[in-house]
């Protein structure tokens, strides 16, 4: 518990300007803006889509249960987070890992999921994508969230895949077949263990679901997910 970075520790930084409201001196993401733009919403426990009715799981997940035990998101993938995530992910601003990890820790259930996990694993990038970007944004977040449980080499990306952005879910899943594997010499370390997968943005959930199935097939007891932002293409009632 004490080894995990807590929001109070992350906010104890040198004076700076909030990236959203531009007030100074503030943390890179001030508490006021986090409260205003990342208000908790009632979401499906399985896929993190918002729910209009007081249900625990949406109709889609009831009909086709996903491989994730629970799925938690800090916020919706909308302004102002879209711009900040783009800067972090595509504009070589890796220093955003700490304030964005703070935001993830503010999500209801995040602390409990991380505390219950034996492993906190990032969704891995292919070697080609890693060389282009220079870092895996999911690994930097995982390392900030719980450094003693985070590991970038237990779940591997075995091949590069085309961009998932414009593909429908069925094609995303087909695109990812065989794209993940457990490090064969360390598979025993997953048996009967709880895993939390970390990613920056969840769209269809294809990457998280394929990775979760690989981990479960390797013997993991259960797999959950904690993501920074969730797209909201549909809302269940």
What's the domain count of the chain?
A: 1
At residue 1, does pLDDT exceed 90? Answer: no
Tell me, yes or no, whether 66 lies in a domain.
yes
Q: CB–CB of 160/126 below 8 Å?
A: yes
Identify the band that residue 146 occupies on the pLDDT scale cut at 50, 70 and 90.
very high
Tell me, yes or no, whether 22 lies in a domain.
no
Q: For the residues 39-68, what does the mean pLDDT come to? A: 93
Task: Specify the pLDDT at position 232.
Answer: 85
Domain CATH for 122: 3.40.50
Q: Which of 92, 110, 75 is nearest to 5 (CA)?
A: 110
Tell me, yes or no, whether 33 lies in a domain.
no
**Distances in whole angstroms, Cα of residue 147 to Cα of each of 71, 167, 178:** 20, 33, 28
At residue 94, does pLDDT exceed 60? Answer: yes
d(CA 225, CA 202): 10
Residue pLDDT, tens place only, 99-138: 999 999 999 999 999 999 999 999 999 888 899 999 999 9
Q: For the residues 25-36, what does the mean pLDDT come to? A: 89
Q: Which helix (H) or strand (E) holds 33?
A: helix 31-37
pTM summary value: 0.87
Domain that includes residue 100, residue range: 41-230
Count Cβ atoms below 10 Å from residue 106 Cβ, excluding itself. Answer: 18
Identify the band that residue 2 occupies on the pLDDT scale cut at 50, 70 and 90.
very low
Q: What are phi and psi of 209, to 5 degrees?
A: -70, -45
Q: For the residues 168-180, what does the mean pLDDT come to? A: 68
């Amino acid at each position: 518990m004490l080894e995990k970075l807590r929001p109070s520790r992350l906010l104890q930084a040198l004076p700076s300007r909030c990236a959203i409201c531009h007030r100074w001196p503030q943390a890179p993401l001030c508490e006021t803006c986090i409260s205003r733009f990342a208000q908790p919403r009632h979401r499906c426990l399985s896929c993190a889509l918002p729910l209009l009715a007081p249900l625990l799981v949406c109709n889609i997940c009831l009909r086709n249960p996903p491989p994730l035990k629970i799925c938690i998101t800090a916020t919706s993938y909308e302004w102002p987070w879209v711009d900040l995530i783009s800067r972090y992910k595509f504009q070589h601003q890796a220093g955003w890992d700490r304030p964005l990890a703070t935001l993830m820790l503010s999500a209801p259930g995040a602390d409990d999921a991380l505390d219950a996990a034996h492993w906190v694993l990032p969704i891995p990038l292919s070697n080609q994508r890693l060389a282009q970007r220079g870092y895996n944004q999911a690994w930097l977040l995982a390392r900030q969230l719980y450094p003693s449980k985070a590991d970038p080499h237990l779940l591997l990306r075995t091949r590069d895949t085309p961009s998932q952005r414009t593909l429908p879910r069925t094609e995303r899943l087909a695109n990812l077949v065989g794209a993940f594997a457990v490090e064969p010499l360390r598979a025993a370390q997953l048996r009967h263990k709880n895993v939390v997968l970390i990613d920056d943005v969840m769209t269809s959930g294809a990457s998280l679901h394929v990775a979760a199935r690989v981990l479960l097939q390797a013997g993991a007891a259960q797999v959950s997910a904690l993501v920074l932002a969730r797209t909201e293409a549909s809302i269940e009632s």
